[in-house]
Amino acid sequence: MKKIEQATILKNECYVNNIYDMVIFAPEVANIAKSGQFINVYTGKSDMILPRPISLCEINKEEGTLRLLYQVVGKGTQYFSTLPKKSNIQILGALGNGFYIDENHKNHILIGGGIGVPPMLELAKNLQGNIHIFIGAKSDPILVKEFQEIGVTVTIATDDGSCGIHGTVLDAIQKEQPLADMIYACGPKVMLKAVSEWAEQVQIPIQVSMEERMACGIGACVGCAIKIKKKNTNDWENLKVCKDGPVFWGNEVIWNE
Ligand SMILES: Cc1cc2nc3c(=O)[nH]c(=O)nc-3n(C[C@H](O)[C@H](O)[C@H](O)COP(=O)(O)OP(=O)(O)OC[C@H]3O[C@@H](n4cnc5c(N)ncnc54)[C@H](O)[C@@H]3O)c2cc1C
Ligand code: FES
């Protein structure tokens, strides 16, 4: 059973706008972690008892470090942004099921919307073959250079047209029509639904990482349950994003809930 443990902050800097780049020393978690998993980060404050789930952007097993890219949206992430280098935070992980990787697949489409982009970096580092990422943003796409540096083809779509294609990631994909054996996506639910419906039309399997609102983050409260179709039936079941996910097959998610 995983235990809450202490991690040391090695870096915690503003990356762009209200997004922060944190690197923590957590060798035991780094050792078992895989792409698509997340950690629960605790504030240690009595008025913020619930953990904040954050995806693993990079895992460095040799150095025992994890990289987290997080957006300041509320009290918890605001608190994290104030933590200095060399201070400690409590974490639990690595949690959830990561992405399924099939070594026979040679063409991969990655889709990241907004703060759903970070887990795609560790995933890209673990895939072999041609990798094309579609990054969706309001105006400032993140991690573009870092994907390019590891040989990933990058296409950007922005809401305001200030960078890349003016439109959604789906507009960009439909324009470029890339080849793929597998699609992996993380971002807002509306984006995951749209790309899953497109993937079904073009008959390419898609894995979606659901960033549902969580409470306990460890499978104890059903606060993060979503409806998933049962295999080979018309029935469905409630599964927990924190424990059974966060990665699910796109064609198994019941989207209109
Ligand atoms: C599997 C997973 C991975 C995630 N990865 C990232 C990431 O890599 N980078 C990043 O910036 N954000 C990520 N998020 C979203 C992040 O967890 C929330 O933005 C964060 O918990 C908000 O906390 P807060 O205290 O600042 O906001 P508040 O709104 O004050 O939070 C109040 C409570 O609601 C919960 N909550 C609020 N928003 C979310 C949310 N979107 N998902 C889950 N719980 C939420 C918080 O845990 C907290 O308990 C992820 C969410 C999930 C479920
Ligand atoms: S957040 Fe409590 S079960 Fe998932």
Domain endpoint, select from 52, 69, 95: 95
Q: Please provide the size of the chain in residues.
A: 257
Distance 217 CA to ligand 1 centre (A): 10
CA–centroid distance for 90 within its chain? 20
Report which bound ligand comes closest to the CA of 241.
2
Same domain, 112 and 47: no
Edge to edge, what strands does the sheet with 206-210 contain?
165-166, 153-158, 130-137, 107-113, 182-187, 206-210, 247-249
- CA 34 to CA 159: how far, in whole Å? 31
Q: What's the pLDDT at 232?
A: 81
Band of residue 3 on the pLDDT scale cut at 50, 70, 90: confident
Asked whether residue 68 falls in the same domain as residue 148, the answer is no
- For the chain, helix (H) and strand (E) counts, in that order, are 6, 16
* Residue 1 scores a pLDDT above 80: no
Question: For a substitution probing ligand 2, which of 40, 216, 228, 239 has the most ligand atoms within 8 Å of its CB?
Answer: 216
The predicted structure's pLDDT at residue 179: 87
Distance CA 224, CA 229 (A): 16
115 in a structural domain: yes
CATH code, 248: 3.40.50.80
Q: Determine, yes or no, domain membership for 170.
A: yes
Question: For residue 170, with 0-12 CB atoms within 10 Å meaning exposed, 13-18 middle and 19 or more buried, which class applies?
Answer: middle
| Domain assignment present for 226 | yes
- Residue among 162, 154, 119 nearest 137 (CA): 162
Mean pLDDT of 79-91: 97
Q: Is the dihedral of CA 20, 114, 211, 93 positive or negative?
A: negative
* Same domain membership, residue 39 and residue 158: no
Phi-psi region of 199 (alpha: psi -120 to 50; beta: other; left: phi over 0): alpha
% of the chain exceeding 90 in pLDDT: 88
Q: Which atom of ligand 1 has the smallest separation from the CA of 95? A: 1
- Compute, in angstroms, the gap from residue 162 CA to the centroid of ligand 1: 27
Q: Which distant-in-sequence residues (6+ apart) come within 8 Å of 125 by Cβ?
A: 35, 58, 150
User: For ligand 1, which residues put their CB under 6 angstroms from it?
Assistant: 38, 50, 52-55, 69-71, 73-77, 115, 118, 211-214, 246
Q: Whose CA is nearest to atom 38 of ligand 1?
A: 213
Q: What is the pLDDT averaged over residues 180-191?
A: 96
Pure H helices in 112-188: 118-126, 144-149, 169-176
DSSP 8-state class, residue 202: H
Do 150 and 234 sit in the same domain of this protein? yes
Answer yes or no: is the C-beta of 216 below 6 A from any ligand 2 atom. yes
Q: Which of 1-5, 213-217, 226-230 has the highest mean pLDDT?
A: 226-230
Residue 94 confidence (pLDDT):
94
129 CA to centre of ligand 1 in angstroms: 32
In a domain, 48, yes or no: yes
Instruction: Give me the pLDDT at residue 125, please.
Output: 98
SS3 content of the chain, % helix, strand, coil (to 5): 20, 35, 40
Phi first, then psi: what are they for 170, rounded to 5°? -65, -40
Does residue 257 lie in a domain region? no
Which structure tokens are listed for 70?
């997080």
- Domain coverage including residue 11: 5-95
84 and 25 in a common domain: yes
Same domain, 228 and 117: yes
Mean of the per-residue pLDDT values of the chain:
95
Q: Say whether both 180 and 220 belong to one domain.
A: yes
What is the domain count for the chain? 2
Is 101 part of any domain? no
Nearest to 112 by CA among 104, 129, 124: 124
Q: In the predicted model, what is the mean pLDDT of residues 135-151?
A: 95
The last residue of one of the domains, among 72, 95, 118, is 95
Instruction: Give the amino acid at 22.
Output: M
d(CA 250, CA 186) in angstroms, rounded, equals 11
Mutate to test the pocket of ligand 1, among 54, 121, 123, 221 (most ligand atoms within 8 A of CB): 54
Is 82 found in the same domain as 159? no
Q: Are residues 141 and 233 in the same domain?
A: yes
Whether 27 and 131 map to the same domain: the answer is no
Kindly tell me if the per-residue pLDDT of 51 is higher than 90: yes
CATH assignment at residue 67: 2.40.30.10
Choosing from 74, 95, 116, the residue where a domain stops is 95
Instruction: Report how far Cα 9 is from the mean position of its chain's Cα atoms.
Output: 21
Q: Which ligand 1 atom minimizes the distance to the CA of 96?
A: 1
Q: Are residues 112 and 59 part of one domain?
A: no
Q: Are residues 58 and 134 in the same domain?
A: no
